[in-house]
Structure 1
Amino acid sequence: MASQGPERDGNDAGHLLNKPSSSETQPLLDPRTSTASHHSGESATKQLTARHAFAVLVTLQIGSGIFASPSQVDSNVPSPGAALLVWALGGLLSWAGAASFAELGAAIPLNGGMQAYLAYVYGDTMAFLMAWIYIMAAKPAAMAIQSIVIAESIGSISSSPTAAWVLKLVAALTFVAMVLVNSINTRVTIRLSESFTGIKLMTVFLVVIAGLVAVIAHLVNPKSSLSGGEDWHSKNWFSTRPTFYEGHTIDWTSMSTWDRYGHYSAAIYGGLWAFDGWDNANVVASEIRNPGQALPKAIKAAMIVVLGSYELVNLAYYILLPWSTVSSSDAVAVVALGSAFGRWAGILMSILVAVSCAGSITSNVFVVGRLTVAASERQYLPAILGERGLPWRQSQATIQCDDPGIDSQANGIAVQNQDKLSRFDAPIWANVLALVLTLVYILTGSFRTLLTFASMAMWVFYISTVLGLLILRRREPALHRPYKPAVTLPAIFVVSGTFILLRSAIFAPVQAGVLACLLIIGTSISKLRTR
Structure 2
Amino acid sequence: MTDANDEPIINDDIREHPATETEPLLARRPSNLSQASSLPRHLTTRHAFAILITLQIGSGVFASPAQIDSNVPSPGASLLVWALGGLLSWAGAASFAELGAAMPINGGMQEYLRHVYGDTMAFMMAWIYIMAAKPSAMAIQSIVIAESIGSIASFSSPDLDPTLLRLVAAGALILIVMLNSVNTKLTMRLSESFTGIKISTVCLVVLGGLIAVIAYLVNPKSSLSGAPDWHERNWFETRSTVSGSGTVDWTTMGTWERYGHFAAALYGGLWAYDGWDNANLVASEIRDPGKALPRAIKYAMVVVLSSYELVNVSYYILLPWDAISSNNAVAVTAAARVFGHWAGICITMLIALSCCGSITGNVFTIGRLIIAASHRNYLPSFLATRGIPASTQRHADPVAAPRTSSDSKSASVIDAPIYANILTLFVTLAYVFFGELRALLTFTGMATWVFYVSTVLGLLILRRREPQLDRPYKPTVLLPILFVVVGVLMIVRTAIFAPPQSILLAVLMVVGAAISKLRRRAAYV
Please give the TM-score of this superposition, normalised by the length of structure 1: 0.81
Q: Distance in 1 between matches of 2:343 and 2:505?
A: 40
Cα deviation digits, residues 294-314 of structure 1 (max 9, x gap): 998876665444322211110
Q: From 218, 224, 227, give the equivalent of 2:225.
A: 227
Superposition pairs of residues 185-204 of structure 1, within 5 angstroms: 186-204=184-202
Distance 1:295 1:176, change over 3 A: closer
Superposition pairs of residues 261-300 of structure 1, within 5 angstroms: 261-279=259-277, 283=283
* Further displaced range: 130-139 or 240-249: 240-249
Other-structure match for 1:98? 93
Q: From 71, 76, 83, give the equivalent of 2:71.
A: 76
**Structure 1: 5+ residue runs without aligned partners?**
31-35
Distance 1:106 1:476, change over 3 A: same
Superposition pairs of residues 408-427 of structure 1, within 5 angstroms: 426-427=416-417
Q: Is the 8 A contact 2:371 2:420 kept in 1?
A: yes
Give 1:252 shift: 3.9
* Further displaced range: 361-370 or 248-257: 248-257
Superposition pairs of residues 45-444 of structure 1, within 5 angstroms: 61-157=56-152, 158-163=155-160, 165=162, 166-184=164-182, 186-279=184-277, 283=283, 303-376=301-374, 378-382=376-380, 385=383, 395=391, 398=394, 400-401=396-397, 403-404=398-399, 426-444=416-434
Distance 1:144 1:60, change over 3 A: closer
Other-structure match for 1:39? 38
Q: From 488, 511, 514, give the equivalent of 1:521.
A: 511
Please give the TM-score of this superposition, normalised by the length of structure 2: 0.82
Cα deviation digits, residues 191-239 of structure 1 (max 9, x gap): 3223211111111111111110011111211221111122222233233
Q: Distance in 2 between matches of 1:52 and 1:182?
A: 15
Other-structure match for 2:5? none
Cα deviation digits, residues 323-366 of structure 1 (max 9, x gap): 23323333322222112111111111111111110011112123
Distance 1:422 1:329, change over 3 A: farther
Q: Distance in 2 between matches of 1:379 and 1:205?
A: 45
Q: From 477, 489, 493, give the equivalent of 1:487.
A: 477
* Further displaced range: 509-518 or 368-377: 368-377
Q: Distance in 1 between matches of 2:293 and 2:25?
A: 27
Q: Distance in 1 between matches of 2:236 and 2:168?
A: 37
Q: Distance in 2 between matches of 1:15 and 1:255?
A: 52
Distance 1:83 1:128, change over 3 A: same
Q: Distance in 2 between matches of 1:326 and 1:286?
A: 41
Q: From 498, 511, 520, give the equivalent of 2:488.
A: 498
* Further displaced range: 152-161 or 3-12: 3-12
SS across alignment from 1:209: helix
Identity of aligned residues (%): 61
Q: Distance in 1 between matches of 2:108 and 2:133?
A: 16
SS across alignment from 1:400: coil
* Further displaced range: 175-184 or 265-274: 175-184
Give 1:426 shift: 4.9
* Further displaced range: 350-359 or 518-527: 518-527
Give 1:434 shift: 2.5
Other-structure match for 1:8? 19
Distance 1:480 1:367, change over 3 A: closer
Q: Distance in 2 between matches of 1:54 and 1:428?
A: 24
Q: Which amino acid aligns with 1:496?
A: V
Q: Distance in 2 between matches of 1:426 and 1:285?
A: 13
Q: Distance in 1 between matches of 2:240 and 2:460?
A: 41
Cα deviation digits, residues 251-302 of structure 1 (max 9, x gap): 44454433332332222122112223433575599855985xx998876665
Q: Distance in 1 between matches of 2:49 and 2:78?
A: 27
SS across alignment from 1:244: strand
Q: Distance in 1 between matches of 2:132 and 2:239?
A: 35
SS across alignment from 1:330: coil
Q: Is the 8 A contact 2:55 2:361 kept in 1?
A: no
Q: Is the 8 A contact 2:110 2:125 kept in 1?
A: yes
* Further displaced range: 224-233 or 212-221: 224-233
Q: Distance in 2 between matches of 1:388 and 1:108?
A: 23
